A and B are shown apart, each in its own frame.
Chain A
Amino acid sequence: MNMLIRSIVGLIILIVLLIVPHFLEFHHQDLLIFLTINVLVVASYRLVTLTGEWSLIHAVMMGVGGYTATLLFLNYELGMWFTLPTAGLLSAAVAALLCFPLLRMTQFYFLIGSFAAGEAIRLVWIQFLDPFGGTGGLSGVSPPMIGDIDFMDPIPYYYLALTVVSICLFLLYRIEKSRVGLTLHSVHWKAPLAESVGVDTWRYRALAFITGSFFVGIAGALKVHYIGTITPNQYGIGFMVFILIWVIVGGYNKFYGPIIGVIVLTMFDESIRGFDEIRPAIYGAVLILSILFLPLGLESIPGKLKAWFIGSEVVEPPLTDE
């Protein structure tokens, strides 16, 4: 019975995802593609946070993927079939190198260390005009053409992005639900206990960081192939903060929490278009209010409603382990 309901819900979601772009105007189709890519961004960030570490370098890792795809495309005319996985692999490689300094740190020190490392990478893009193009970045990347289908159009590109992101989400979900995912959780909640039964916490933190970077690298390549340009500022602390907001407002205790967060806030963002000047402040207020009044995120609302009707108690663990 449960299985049946799930299949039906899944089918409905699939149909909605497939037909939704045809009911949207051009501007919203554009937005839908960004939303699809951002879903991958937050889902991969969740993998990094599974071990309990909040990194501030995820946006820059996406940029690493984007620059990789851009340089491969511009210099060697390599198509998306090649740039996409390579972008992921290069992000993962950069993350692997960064593990050695960064994973020596935990909590705030990791947070600040990852922020510093990310800023350093971004400043390298700004400083070295060749090959990164400086503050102005690079442009001229285009999506592929397969037969008669021009992926420059939003609808075909949406289907392409949807396919890639769906595959990645499936893989991320498999990882989280596997014993590897369980071990990552165990590193988060009680690292000494995990160690005492033989878990190499360093290795698992590295695994989460590298794998998360791999997937966000792919997201970076997906984005640059659609918009065609890349600049260091697209991946600055501003974007990183948006990732944090999406994840936190959505709720990061469940796999789908951050995804709900990015979808709801993107729609919210659309609804406050026209207040461009004060938009960041509205975001800031939403962030503060959700931390103060809904610390487990939107994802926790159904449970709360249920508890309210049935009358049982909801336990709210703190964001960080004391």
Chain B
Amino acid sequence: MELILQSIINGLIQGGLYALFAVGLVMIFGVMGVVNFAHGELVMAGAYTIWYLHAQQGLGYLPTVVVAVVLVTLIGLLMERFLFRPTRNDPLAGLICSIGMLFILQVIATLIGGEGPSKQVPPVFQGTLVVFDFLRIPNQRIFALVISVAALVTLWYFLARTKLGWALRAVALDREASALQGININRISMIAIGVGAGMAGLAGALMAPLTNINPHMGHNVIITAFIVTIVGGVGSLSGAVLAAILYALFHTFMTVYFGGTIATISGLLLMVLVLIIKPTGIMGVRISE
């Protein structure tokens, strides 16, 4: 019972972080039609910023989180301008460019941090919240949960209540029709990737004190993001958030009882299963001729 409750809490916190980066992937795919394989490396870049500026150079944690978000947003904007915009009519070319970017970001991380063992960032918020005498939630994780929920709510408000958010959703539904309506596709793409990358950077910054940091940490991130995106329904942001939470719970439980590898295998099989039932993703539309 205690183990179950503890796993639920851990899973929920993990779910918030998963949602942060999965939502970004969905937005970029929805608006620009490109699968950003380097999305995991954007998370990694966020985590590295924390490690380098905060843990190494002694800058305060909160300011560094802001720097991380700004920096990763900037990387995203550069990717849109120089990689995705020239290849807009060819989604496969965009995807391959993002693979190239993945290598470049990994090497930059290696150059900054060097090879060798994974880096750790000591927790900033000391102490642990104890509930019912047996539930232990480190304050650092509570902070991560609060910030990720706040970021997701802000995103929801932006998309549902603002004119710009409305334009973004219109482009995601039908790019050509939106362009005919006078929506500036380049500008909307910039916003989509800026927000998507920024959220990935934030996820990385929040994860930094909770995980091992190394140049290849993006690999697990992208696998998780794919699973969440497919299970949640490609193109559906709320679906992605829900799937992120459910998958995080699922993964946490599987890890507790069967180990991490089996947990990831089951996640991948779950995703293949969803694709079998609905070969174009849950929200996907079949295109005929």
Taking the complex as a whole, does A directly touch B, i.e. does some CB pair lie under 8 Å apart? yes
Binding site for B on A (CB under 8 A): 54, 101-102, 104-106, 108-109, 111-113, 115-117, 119-120, 123-124, 126-127, 192, 237, 241, 244, 248, 277-278, 280-281, 283-288, 291-292, 295, 318-320, 322
A291 lies within 8 A of B93 (CB): yes
B34 nearest CB neighbor, chain A only = A108
Tell me whether A284 and B261 are in contact in the complex, defined as CB-CB below 8 angstroms, given that A109-B279, A111-B35 are known contacts: no
Whether A277 lies near B111 (C-beta < 8 A) is yes
CA distance A192 to B286 in the complex (A): 14
Please give, as numbers and ranges, the residues of chain B lying within 8 Å of A105 by CB-CB distance.
Answer: 275, 279-280
Of all chain B residues, the one with the shortest Cβ separation from A280 is B103
- For residue A235, give the distance in angstroms from its CB to the closest CB of chain B: 14
Whether A119 contacts B91 in the complex (CB less than 8 A), given A104-B276, A109-B279, A287-B97, comes out as: no
Enumerate chain A residues within 8 angstroms of B87, measured Cβ to Cβ. Answer: 291-292
Bound: A286/B107 CA distance, A: 14
Which segment of B66-74, B159-167, B223-231, B237-245 sits at the interface?
A: B223-231
Interface string of B260-286 (1 = CB under 8 A from A): 011011001101100110011100100
In the complex, besides A109-B284, A284-B101, 10 extra interface pairs with C-beta distance below 8 angstroms are: A106-B279, A109-B281, A116-B223, A120-B269, A278-B107, A280-B106, A281-B108, A288-B83, A291-B87, A292-B97
User: B93 touching A244 by the CB < 8 A rule?
Assistant: no
Q: List 13 A-B contacts (CB under 8 A).
A: A116-B223, A117-B272, A120-B268, A127-B262, A192-B288, A241-B99, A248-B96, A280-B104, A281-B103, A281-B108, A284-B101, A284-B102, A292-B97
In the bound complex, CA of A52 to CA of B276 (Å): 20
- Interface residue ranges of B77-134 to A (CB < 8 Å): 83, 86-87, 89-93, 95-97, 99-104, 106-108, 110-111, 115
Whether, in the assembled complex, B2 has its beta carbon less than 8 Å from a beta carbon of chain A, the answer is no
Question: B: which residues have CB within 8 A of A?
Answer: 35, 83, 86-87, 89-93, 95-97, 99-104, 106-108, 110-111, 115, 219, 223, 226-227, 230, 234, 259, 261-262, 264-265, 268-269, 271-272, 275-276, 279-281, 284, 288-289
Residue of A nearest to B265 (CB): A123
B32, chain A: closest CB distance, angstroms: 13
Of B83, B219, B279, the contact of A237 (CB 8 Å cutoff): B219
Q: Taking CB as reference atom, which chain A residue is nearest B277?
A: A104
Which chain A residues lie closer than 8 Å to B110 at the CB level?
277
CB distance A119 to B268 under 8 Å?
yes
Distance in Å from the Cβ of A300 to the closest Cβ of chain B? 15
B92, B226, B281, B289: which contacts A116 (Cβ < 8 A)?
B226
Instruction: Report Cα–Cα, A104/B230, bound state, in Å.
Output: 15
Which residues of B sit under 8 angstroms from A124, Cβ to Cβ? 265
Q: Is B100 in contact with A285, judged by CB distance below 8 angstroms?
A: yes
Tell me which of A111, A287, A318, A319 contacts B100 (CB under 8 A): A287
CA distance A252 to B83 in the complex (A): 21
Contacting residue for B226 out of A115, A248, A284, A286, CB 8 A: A115
Pair A109/B275 contact, Cβ less than 8 Å: yes
Contact of A287 among B99, B111, B264, B281 (CB under 8 A): B99
Q: Which chain A residues lie closer than 8 Å to B234 at the CB level?
A: 109
Question: Which residues of chain A are within 8 angstroms of B83 by Cβ–Cβ distance?
Answer: 288, 292
Bound CA span A165–B35, Å: 34
Contact (Cβ within 8 A) A109 B108: no
The CA of A241 and the CA of B98, in the complex, are separated in Å by: 11
How many Å from the CB of B276 to the closest CB on chain A?
Answer: 5
> Is B96's CB under 8 angstroms from A277's CB?
no
Among residues of A, the one whose C-beta sits closest to the C-beta of B273 is A101
Q: A119-B268, A237-B219, A292-B86 are in contact. Are A281 and B275 (CB under 8 A)?
A: no
Find B97's partner among A120, A278, A288 (CB 8 Å cutoff).
Answer: A288
Contact B92 A320 (CB under 8 A): yes
Asked, given contacts A101-B276, A104-B279, A105-B279, whether A280 binds B107 with beta carbons under 8 Å apart, the answer is: yes
Contact A112 B93 (CB under 8 A): no
Q: B92, A54: Cβ atoms under 8 Å?
A: yes
Q: Is the CB of B289 within 8 A of A319?
A: no
Please tell me if the beta carbons of A120 and B272 are within 8 angstroms of each other in the complex.
yes
Q: A105-B280, A192-B289 are in contact. Are A123 and B264 (CB under 8 A)?
A: yes
- Contact call B35/A108, Cβ cutoff below 8 A: yes
Chain B neighbourhood of A111, CB < 8 A: 35, 95
Question: Of B93, B107, B284, B288, which is within 8 A of A277 by CB?
Answer: B107
A101-B272, A280-B103, A281-B103 known; A322 vs B89 contact (CB < 8 Å): yes
**Chain B residue nearest in CB terms to A106:** B279
Nearest A residue (CB) for B89? A318
Chain A positions within 8 Å of B269 at CB level: 120
- Complex CA gap A244/B97 in Å reads 11
Contact B227 A295 (CB under 8 A): no
Contact A104 B275 (CB under 8 A): yes
> Is A117 a contact of B261 with CB atoms below 8 Å?
no
Residues of chain A with a CB closer than 8 A to B289's CB: 192
Return B224 CB to nearest CB of chain A, in Å: 11
**Which chain A residues border B223 with CB–CB below 8 Å?**
116, 119
User: Across the interface, do B93 and A127 meet the contact criterion of CB distance under 8 Å?
Assistant: no
B169–chain A nearest beta-carbon distance, Å? 20
Please tell me which one of the listed residues A104, A116, A280, A287 contacts residue B96 in the complex, with CB atoms under 8 A apart: A287
Which of B100, B115, B275 has a CB less than 8 Å from the CB of A113?
B275
Q: Are B276's CB and A281's CB within 8 A?
A: no
CA distance A123 to B227 in the complex (A): 15
Give Cα A288 to B98, complex, Å.
8
> What is the minimal beta-carbon distance from B227 to any residue of chain A, in angstroms?
7
